[in-house]
Amino acid sequence: MAIEEKKTNEATEEKAAKKKTTSKKTTSKKSTSKAPAKKKEPKVLRPQEESEIFALDIGTRTIVGIIGHMSDNTFCIDHAISVPHKQRAMIDGQIEDIPVVADVAKQVKEKLEAKSGIKLSRVAIAAAGRALKTRSTEMSFDIKDKEVITQDDVKAFELETALKAQDELDAETTDSNSSFYCVGHTVIQYLLDDYKIKSLVGHKGKKVTVELIAAFLPSPVVESLYSVMDMNGLQVVSLTLEPIAAMNIIIPPEIRLINVALVDIGAGTSDIAIAQNGSIVAYAMSTVAGDEITEEIIRKYIVDFQTAEEMKLSSYQEQISYKDILGFDHTVETGEFFASLFPAVDSLADDIAKNIIKANGQAPAAVFLVGGGSLIPDLAKQVAEKLEIPDTRVAVGGKQVMKNVSFGKAKITGPEYVTPIGIGVTATQNQGYDFSVVTVNDKKIRIFDTRAVRVLDLLSTAGYKSTQIIGRSGRNLTFTLNGEKQLLKGELATLAEITLNGAPATLETTVKQGDNLVFKPAKSGNNAEVKVSDIAGEISARKVFIDGTEYPFGVIARVNGKQITGDYQIQNSDNISITEIETLGDLMQTFTFDASTLSYYKAGKLLSVDYYLHDDDDIVTADKVFNPEAREGKLAKAIADSNAPSPDILPVLSEAVEATVVTEPEQTTEEEQPAAPRDCQLILNGRSVTLPPRPNNQPHEFIELMAIADIDLDNPPPSGDMILTVNGKDVSFMDRITDGDIAVIRWADK
């Protein structure tokens, strides 16, 4: 309302000025002497205010500029100008002749300045999807040690996931001279502990998964746009993709729950965006667009490019008159003219439909066509037919379908204005990307962003991982020791050091064009680690012989029931037991049968239960020297008679104290020779490996595979979780492995 009043006042003042001028002219006729003409003073332009949005749509055929502002969630258009290119300076949405395009952009800028009285200095622009690359990817993050998820955490998760998409794209780019810039990403969904959630901020959990789609453009597309703006002294404050701009005014977020496709058909490209479940889930593009129709007219009617363009836009006439390149005049009925273009229109509709289905996986519920190319007669009908959806589900989006837009007195009607208005709306919502060059540790970094760039955003774009930016405390270690739960906390992270232009800065500090950042990465804390010897002291496993059978004694450690050495590194959830056996009575308590009625002798002397054992003691349970060949001795006989299992203390990890049960060597015939030790052959991470026999033909254990697994133990992923399986089942380091097993050792995040 205020704008309309302002314009009314300006019109009244203009009329009054004209009347005054007329009066002066009448008076001057009566004068006998002619007064010298006054030199026209140039109009003084005022600076562009922050709220005044100047948007430019650099199209293949025309450049459209608008000036507008946001008022009560409505984008109000104050002025609009459209200037066609005088020659083909753009092909398929890409600027080919930068100075020529810059000159047309200058004309648009100056005409808008003359209309508005504003000296335009800041501009919002959009890039067509020529050579657009997209990557859908997801990434999981371990958050068990976080109190709550913060907004910074979410941003770091998103940026690291987008960087993963960038890495995937770079890995596929074979040309080392080609570079792509991420111009935006859209989160498809967040998962918290594998459950979909709308917002992560404030929640707690164990794992976060971010799934997003990132869009990339080749550097020539971006650099040429910025060169045109530089030539006109304009600072780019917002850069977006053309289909995203159109989406923002045709298909706002509340409508994106429906599976809708938007196609921006320009002269050079047809840019596609797909919305579903509240998000933009896919982007696509095609270089088949309005120019294909123009080129078909050139071939059929032997006319130049400009004449073909004029004929294409003459659907409102009953007849079309034109002059061919030979100079002959012709007239053709409009219906006949467009009927002759049916094959080209059909081909364009077919290409658009195929790209929609390729991006969406199926025909969408509805389609909006925007851009100048959408005005081609019968194109919407043909697209509906190719997609096999009703004609009423494909609409040409013009003024009538734009949401929350006020046109004022601007003469805007057609779909060719959808994108430039969308560019302006995107800029007001801070959804466009701004491109700046800053220095990080003496390296120039180009960055796009949707708002003021923070140090956190800059470092993520520069390739630093979240653990380098924020740091990660070392993982805690939990285990059971002699029946009691134990917790060792990991080391705290060392904070990063940040200086911006020589002054201390934080992750929230805003950076701008030309800033110089010096960054010393954070250092993650060490994981909690402890060896058995750190808890139990020296593991002094020694051995004695009773009736020829070896038994360990001293300080003995077991993990999950298996004997280990003091060098064993305790793992999460291990069950550790420490046993001290010093006397004969201590040892007797470990037997699996009642041996309290037996008498024990050493060198003919009867031993008491308080007898302190010595290394290599030779004890017998009969009052005579033990004869191994005769297998005399009541303990050995008791074991044999009861078929009792060997004491669970027998298995020993260290070769120095490996338990061996001495048994009576049996007489064998030539047909019954003992089996020779064999190699153990199995599959590890998809490749065949061979383990040589262990001493005394002891069984192989899973821990032996760690030394030959192709895995980087010095650089664990953020979660630090490792997958250990044999034949598809989880195992621990001390589990046995046998010939033919299939084993897997890898980081869970890889």
| pLDDT tens-digit series, residues 484-513 | 888 888 888 888 899 999 999 888 888 887
Tell the CATH superfamily of the 680-747 domain.
Beta-grasp domain (3.10.20.30)
Q: What are phi and psi of 591, to 5 degrees?
A: -70, 150
> 3-class DSSP state for residue 40?
coil
With tokens 């258009």, the residue in question is 77
Q: Over 80: is that where the pLDDT of 630 sits?
A: no
Query: What's the distance, CA 380 to chain centroid?
Result: 35
Domain assignments of the chain as residue spans, ordered by start:
253-396, 435-520, 532-663, 680-747
Tokens of 79: 């002025």
Average pLDDT value for residue range 225-237:
88
Are 78 and 69 a contacting pair, CB within 8 Å?
Answer: yes
The whole-angstrom separation of Cα 123 and Cα 83 is 17
Residue, of 567 and 88, whose pLDDT is higher: 567
Angle at 592 between CA 587 and CA 596, to 5 degrees: 60
Residue, of 88 and 657, whose pLDDT is higher: 88
User: SS3 string of 49-108?
Assistant: CCCCEEEEEECCCEEEEEEEEEECCEEEEEEEEEEECCCCCEECCEECCHHHHHHHHHHH
Q: In this structure, what DSSP letter does residue 703 have?
A: G
Tokens of 689: 């490996």
Radius of gyration of the chain (CA): 41
Query: What's the distance, CA 682 to chain centroid?
Result: 37
Confidence grade of residue 586 (pLDDT, cut at 50, 70, 90): confident
CA neighbor of 475 nearest in space, from 731, 198, 718, 141: 718
The amino acid that residue 284 corresponds to is A
Is-same-fold flag (253-396; 435-520)?
no
Residue, of 578 and 34, whose pLDDT is higher: 578
Instruction: Identify the pLDDT of residue 386.
Output: 92
**Which run of H or of E encompasses 406?**
strand 405-406
Confidence grade of residue 184 (pLDDT, cut at 50, 70, 90): low
The whole-angstrom separation of Cα 35 and Cα 711 is 94
Confidence grade of residue 750 (pLDDT, cut at 50, 70, 90): low
Fold of domain 253-396 = Nucleotidyltransferase; domain 5 (3.30.420)
Instruction: Identify the pLDDT of residue 253.
Output: 73
Q: Over 90: is that where the pLDDT of 103 sits?
A: yes
Average pLDDT value for residue range 107-119:
92
Average pLDDT value for residue range 526-547:
82
Average pLDDT value for residue range 416-432:
80
With tokens 């195929």, the residue in question is 354
Instruction: Identify the pLDDT of residue 286.
Output: 76
> 3-class DSSP state for residue 191?
strand
Q: Domain spanning 435-520 has what CATH number?
A: 3.10.20.30
Confidence grade of residue 678 (pLDDT, cut at 50, 70, 90): confident
Instruction: Identify the pLDDT of residue 449.
Output: 52
What would the pLDDT profile of 440-453 be if each residue is shown by its tens digit?
898 877 665 534 57
- Among residues of the chain, what percentage have pLDDT more than 70? 81
Instruction: Identify the pLDDT of residue 123.
Output: 92
Residue, of 596 and 153, whose pLDDT is higher: 153
